[in-house]
Amino acid sequence: MQGTILSIGNELLIGKTINTNLSIIAKTLYAMGIEVNQALCVKDDVHSIHQALSQIDDAFIIITGGLGPTPDDLTKEAVCAFYGLELTLHQKSLKRIKDTFKTMHKTMDNSNLKQAYFPKSAIVLNNDNGTAPGAIFQVGHQTIVLLPGPPTELMPMLEPVKTYLLEHLDFEVFHGGYLVVGIGESEMEHQLEGFYNAHKDVLIAPYAGLGEIQYIFTSKDEMALKNALKAFHKRFRDVIVGPYDTPLEHIVVQALQAQNKTISFAESCTGGLLAGRLINVPGVSHVFNESYVLYSDNAKIKRLGVHQSIIDQFGAVSNQCVYELSYQLAQRTGADISVSVSGIAGPDGGTKDKPVGTVFFGITHEGRTKTMHHIFVGDRQMIRQKAVAFALNLVIKTLT
Amino acid sequence: MQGTILSIGNELLIGKTINTNLSIIAKTLYAMGIEVNQALCVKDDVHSIHQALSQIDDAFIIITGGLGPTPDDLTKEAVCAFYGLELTLHQKSLKRIKDTFKTMHKTMDNSNLKQAYFPKSAIVLNNDNGTAPGAIFQVGHQTIVLLPGPPTELMPMLEPVKTYLLEHLDFEVFHGGYLVVGIGESEMEHQLEGFYNAHKDVLIAPYAGLGEIQYIFTSKDEMALKNALKAFHKRFRDVIVGPYDTPLEHIVVQALQAQNKTISFAESCTGGLLAGRLINVPGVSHVFNESYVLYSDNAKIKRLGVHQSIIDQFGAVSNQCVYELSYQLAQRTGADISVSVSGIAGPDGGTKDKPVGTVFFGITHEGRTKTMHHIFVGDRQMIRQKAVAFALNLVIKTLT
């Protein structure tokens, strides 16, 4: 089955909004074995929408944006006019929209009324985070899906779309995968050269982030999928940290909770991003109390007692310095695991021995302190984000 | 002048890559007064590329992606075949590609050879961050621009494209604008209702981030632009923090540097993101030494001497607590400005008096401590990011 994703909105064409919906929808469809043939993005006027629709012959079209209450929001009206479908009032949606306003202690504006109109044959999709319902309907050989533009509204509404598609697809699709950390994408691809051919019935796609890669496996053959996952796990167990759909920081917090341990950080170049990412996880307070950002040499000396002589002799970006930082951090905070990070994020400050991207890590656990370093490639922000992923991976490795 | 942006690459259609290039290019063109009519995204095969090109009649086409050395990279070949243009070796580019490999202590692979081939009439665009040059050429009434897919390579190459377009446009375009913080987009839009009509010769577009909005003004009439900018500044001086193209954290660091002052943070719910964002700025070490992430009550008590009675009586999310945190932080670090943040980022922990999104801020400057609070809307991550923008704005207001 082939599909087109049609995004509607001037804001996308003046660069005001990044079209994250496209990648979210495309990834969802891909995992279901549906091929997205093309993606179009047009302005919110009737002519542009009709012209786009006249060019699409795919069996499946997802249309996003333009379902709001303003006069600019005319997607549903334009699409239904194109296919010659009449819009009628959908009472249940009207009640839901009115209820949404009641919850906000407001009364519904007349402009919202049009949001409750749909073709008679449509399956209406509830929107729990806004007033714009979505819809699924058939026109000839084509399945049309309408979804609102805001990602927070759209994302939960993909679930009923998935359910509908799974019911109407003539095949079942299975998927799984792993989150891989501590190895570059090109190195992984190199190592995977024979692997893809050995598992031809399985689609394997790497989604690379900064310092981490999701490998998503999809197949219509459940046995083939299981075998591929097993073989991948066997071969890459050293760099697999968890299932592909669990964020790295969640894996860290889960591992800490399972062992009833606490963690603390002393950050220099990452400057708070490591703590900031761990605190993404709700309920992190069970495993995290406090953390330090010690950017200047003086702060490292004053707060965690790094000796001036270490800074003088080896520099703040050194095994010796991160050793002292994580060791003293453990003493001071009593955290079960303490991690220190000190590096050169650039753009300046690199030397021949320690080029930009060089980052040292210290980790203290059960009385033992280890240090290591890695050279990351990228700009200042990329280096810092990759160092955060590296540090989180270090914690996982230490705990397991 | 109207244009189309055509993005080429399977990775975009399986959701592996978010098409940030689209918004970067669209924003650039918009600021030049060029209207992007539509954006297309197709797979990297010749048929898909030809079909897309046959649908585009705009005077200006920017094509991104597929300029690499692998067999999948066939954009240039497909585009030139479509327009009947012959590819010939561009010696200067070949030399540059060879030199790039030399710098990396590698020898050029034969697969890279095709990257040095271009139509004879093309203006070749150097790529300082990769081996794929870009190109601009004319075919009939259409101007075609080829750019590589990786954003770090593409972005600097937009500069010569801009220069070319400015030389070939039959009009001049002026632009400017402001970064606005401390007011919501809907409130701004409400206040701007009459403003747009009073400045009809100026395009004004808000680009909303989390807790901050860029207002970009574009006009072919220099005088009209100046007047609109002046009027906007007069009306919104309280919420304008700087020019639209200077990031908020840079404005903060500049203000601190100008007054030769240092800053420190005590973060609870933002958990390091505030320090992490300030440290985005290279050279921040002149104004920033250290910072604390004090997430648990106990850490607030132990590290900065908040009294247990304050926590018991008012809670950690209170005026009293952030007052103590910023006051004690100033004492302890000697920073000229100290800022504390404590709030409820959710999803749990909200109460009737302090719903999820409630964040308290303390700021100590020249011996005086002020506190305030704000209720932010959004999910856990949005609330935390908005609180970071709010805190940075607080620093700017305090310094100026």
Q: Which of B13, B40, B289 sits opposite A299 (nearest CB)?
A: B289
pLDDT for the residue numbered B21? 95
* CA closest to B52 among chain A residues: A38
In this complex, do A15 and B271 lie within 8 Å of one another by their Cβ atoms? no
Sign, CA dihedral A347-A351-A352-A358, equals negative
Sign, CA dihedral A91-A96-A97-A103, equals positive
* CA closest to B216 among chain A residues: A16
Which pLDDT band holds residue B183 (cuts at 50, 70, 90)? confident
- Alpha carbon of A172: minimum distance to chain B alpha carbons (Å): 19
Contact pairs from chain A to chain B, CB under 8 Å: 217
Residues in chain A within 8 Å Cβ distance of B379: 152
pLDDT for the residue numbered A45? 93
- Measure the N-to-C terminal CA separation of chain B; round to a whole number of Å: 43
For residues B204 and A352, what is the distance between their CA atoms, to the nearest angstrom?
48
Q: Which of A273, A291, A296 sits opposite B289 (nearest CB)?
A: A296
In eight-state DSSP terms, residue A286 is G
Which pLDDT band holds residue B127 (cuts at 50, 70, 90)? very high
> Mean pLDDT over residues B106-113, rounded?
85
Residues in chain A within 8 Å Cβ distance of B214: none
Residues in chain A within 8 Å Cβ distance of B39: 12-13, 40-41
Q: Which of B23, B206, B293 sits opposite A18 (nearest CB)?
A: B23
**Which tokens hold the place of B378?**
């959004």
For residue A360, give the nearest of A377, A374, A349 by alpha carbon.
Answer: A374
**Which tokens hold the place of B390?**
């709010």
Q: Which fold has domain B174-243?
A: Alpha-Beta Plaits (3.30.70)
- Alpha carbon of B140: minimum distance to chain A alpha carbons (Å): 24
- Alpha carbon of A185: minimum distance to chain B alpha carbons (Å): 13
Instruction: Work out whether strand B368-375 and strand B358-365 pair parallel, antiparallel, or are unpaired.
Output: antiparallel
Residue with tokens 């009115």: A98
For residues A388 and A374, what is the distance between their CA atoms, to the nearest angstrom?
12
Residue count (chain B):
400
Q: How many helices (H) and strands (E) does chain A have?
A: 15, 17
pLDDT for the residue numbered A16? 84
Which pLDDT band holds residue B167 (cuts at 50, 70, 90)? confident
For residues A218 and A207, what is the distance between their CA atoms, to the nearest angstrom?
13
> Mean pLDDT over residues B22-34, rounded?
89
Residue with tokens 């591929």: A228
Which pLDDT band holds residue B101 (cuts at 50, 70, 90)? confident
Angle at A1 between CA A196 and CA A153, to 5 degrees: 95
Residues in chain B within 8 Å Cβ distance of A36: 13-14
pLDDT averaged over chain B? 93
A25, A158 in Cβ contact below 8 A? yes
- Alpha carbon of A125: minimum distance to chain B alpha carbons (Å): 22
Lateral strand order in the sheet of A35-42: A123-125, A134-139, A142-147, A60-64, A2-8, A35-42, B35-42, B2-8, B60-64, B142-147, B134-139, B123-125
- Which of B35, B54, B289 is most worth mutating to test chain A (most A CB atoms within 10 A of its CB)? B289
pLDDT, averaged per 10 consecutive residues of chain A (400 residues), comes to: 93 89 92 90 96 93 93 93 96 92 81 94 92 95 95 93 87 89 85 91 86 90 96 96 95 97 98 97 96 97 96 97 98 97 94 94 97 91 95 96
In this complex, do A16 and B207 lie within 8 Å of one another by their Cβ atoms? yes
- Which of A11, A13, A303 is most worth mutating to test chain B (most B CB atoms within 10 A of its CB)? A13
In this complex, do B27 and A43 lie within 8 Å of one another by their Cβ atoms? no
Q: Which fold has domain B2-168?
A: Molybdenum Cofactor Biosythetic Enzyme; Chain A (3.40.980)
* CA closest to A55 among chain B residues: B55
pLDDT for the residue numbered A19? 92
* CA closest to A297 among chain B residues: B289
In eight-state DSSP terms, residue B348 is S
pLDDT for the residue numbered A339? 98
> Mean pLDDT over residues B135-140, rounded?
95
For residue A93, give the nearest of A121, A138, A125, A71 by alpha carbon.
Answer: A125
Sign, CA dihedral A81-A86-A87-A92, equals negative
| CB environment A79-100: b (16+ within 10 A), e (fewer) | bbebeebebeebeebbebbeeb
Lateral strand order in the sheet of A203-208: A203-208, A212-219, A174-181, A240-243
In this complex, do A295 and B276 lie within 8 Å of one another by their Cβ atoms? no
* B305 alpha-carbon distance from chain centroid: 38
In this complex, do A380 and B282 lie within 8 Å of one another by their Cβ atoms? yes
CA dihedral B48, B53, B55, B59 (to 10 degrees): 160
Which pLDDT band holds residue B170 (cuts at 50, 70, 90)? confident
- Alpha carbon of B182: minimum distance to chain A alpha carbons (Å): 19
For residues B399 and B365, what is the distance between their CA atoms, to the nearest angstrom?
9
For residues B16 and B10, what is the distance between their CA atoms, to the nearest angstrom?
8
Q: Which of A43, A279, A348 sits opposite B272 (nearest CB)?
A: A279
- DSSP-derived secondary structure for B169-190: SSS--EEEEEEEESS-HHHHHH
In this complex, do A295 and B289 lie within 8 Å of one another by their Cβ atoms? yes
> Mean pLDDT over residues B158-184, rounded?
89
pLDDT for the residue numbered B1? 80
Which stretches of A58-193 are assigned E, i.e. beta strand? 60-64, 87-89, 117-119, 123-125, 134-139, 142-147, 174-181
Map residue B90 onto helix, strand or coil.
Answer: coil
For residues B360 and B319, what is the distance between their CA atoms, to the nearest angstrom?
6
* CA closest to A296 among chain B residues: B289
Tell me chain A's radius of gyration from C-alpha atoms.
26
For residues B300 and B361, what is the distance between their CA atoms, to the nearest angstrom?
14
Q: What share of chain A is helix, strand, coil (3-state, %, to 5)?
A: 40, 25, 30
pLDDT for the residue numbered A12? 93
B273, A271 in Cβ contact below 8 A? no
Q: What share of chain B is helix, strand, coil (3-state, %, to 5)?
A: 40, 25, 30
Q: What's this model's pTM, rounded to 2 decimal places?
A: 0.85
Which pLDDT band holds residue B41 (cuts at 50, 70, 90)? very high
Q: Is the peptide bond before A151 cis (omega within 30 degrees of 0)?
A: no
Q: What percent of chain B has pLDDT over 90?
A: 78
**Which tokens hold the place of A370?**
């280890």
pLDDT for the residue numbered A166? 85
**Which tokens hold the place of A157?**
């509404």
pLDDT for the residue numbered A170? 75
* CA closest to A207 among chain B residues: B16
pLDDT at residue B104 greater than cutoff 80: no
**Which tokens hold the place of A313?**
């002799």
**Which tokens hold the place of A180?**
């891989």
In this complex, do B299 and A284 lie within 8 Å of one another by their Cβ atoms? no
A320, A314 in Cβ contact below 8 A? yes
For residues A154 and A21, what is the distance between their CA atoms, to the nearest angstrom?
8
Residue with tokens 């094509």: B63
| CB environment B150-162: b (16+ within 10 A), e (fewer) | beebbbebbebbe
In eight-state DSSP terms, residue A122 is P
Domain boundaries along the sequence of chain B: 2-168, 174-243, 248-399
Element (DSSP H or E) covering residue B88: strand B87-89
For residues B285 and B184, what is the distance between their CA atoms, to the nearest angstrom?
32
pLDDT for the residue numbered A209? 84
| CB environment A179-206: b (16+ within 10 A), e (fewer) | bbbbbeeeebeeebeebeeebeebbbbb
Residues in chain B within 8 Å Cβ distance of A218: none
**Which tokens hold the place of A388?**
């955060």
Helix ranges (H only) for chain B are 10-13, 20-31, 46-54, 75-83, 91-103, 151-168, 185-191, 193-198, 222-236, 248-258, 273-278, 297-304, 308-314, 319-333, 380-399
pLDDT for the residue numbered A167? 87
B82, B50 in Cβ contact below 8 A? yes
pLDDT at residue B222 greater than cutoff 90: yes
Helix B46-54 with B75-83: angle, nearest 10 deg? 50
pLDDT at residue B302 greater than cutoff 80: yes
Residues in chain B within 8 Å Cβ distance of A55: 55
Q: Which of B13, B271, B282 sits opposite A348 (nearest CB)?
A: B282
What number of other Cβ atoms are within 10 A of residue B190's Cβ? Answer: 9
Tell me chain B's radius of gyration from C-alpha atoms.
26
**Which tokens hold the place of B263?**
């800053």
- Alpha carbon of B352: minimum distance to chain A alpha carbons (Å): 15
- Alpha carbon of A81: minimum distance to chain B alpha carbons (Å): 21
Which pLDDT band holds residue B173 (cuts at 50, 70, 90)? confident
Residues in chain B within 8 Å Cβ distance of A48: 37-38
In this complex, do A16 and B303 lie within 8 Å of one another by their Cβ atoms? no
pLDDT at residue B121 greater than cutoff 80: yes
In this complex, do B12 and A28 lie within 8 Å of one another by their Cβ atoms? no
For residue A127, give the nearest of A167, A76, A173, A77 by alpha carbon.
Answer: A76
Which CATH class, in words, describes the domain spanning A248-399? alpha beta
Residues in chain A within 8 Å Cβ distance of B24: 15
pLDDT for the residue numbered B198? 94
Residues in chain B within 8 Å Cβ distance of A15: 22-30, 207
Q: Which of B12, B29, B294 sits opposite A290 (nearest CB)?
A: B294
Q: Is A209 exposed, middle or buried (0-12, 13-18, 19+ CB in 10 A)?
A: middle
Q: Which of A29, A40, A275 sits opposite B272 (nearest CB)?
A: A275
Q: What percent of chain B has pLDDT over 70?
A: 100
Map residue B260 onto helix, strand or coil.
Answer: coil
B171, B220 in Cβ contact below 8 A? yes
pLDDT for the residue numbered B100? 83
In this complex, do A26 and B20 lie within 8 Å of one another by their Cβ atoms? no
Q: Which of B17, B42, B279 sits opposite A38 (nearest CB)?
A: B42
pLDDT for the residue numbered B187? 83
Residues in chain A within 8 Å Cβ distance of B38: 13, 40-43, 48, 52
Map residue A350 onto helix, strand or coil.
Answer: coil
* CA closest to A302 among chain B residues: B333
Lateral strand order in the sheet of A368-375: A368-375, A358-365, A337-343, A263-267, A290-294, B290-294, B263-267, B337-343, B358-365, B368-375
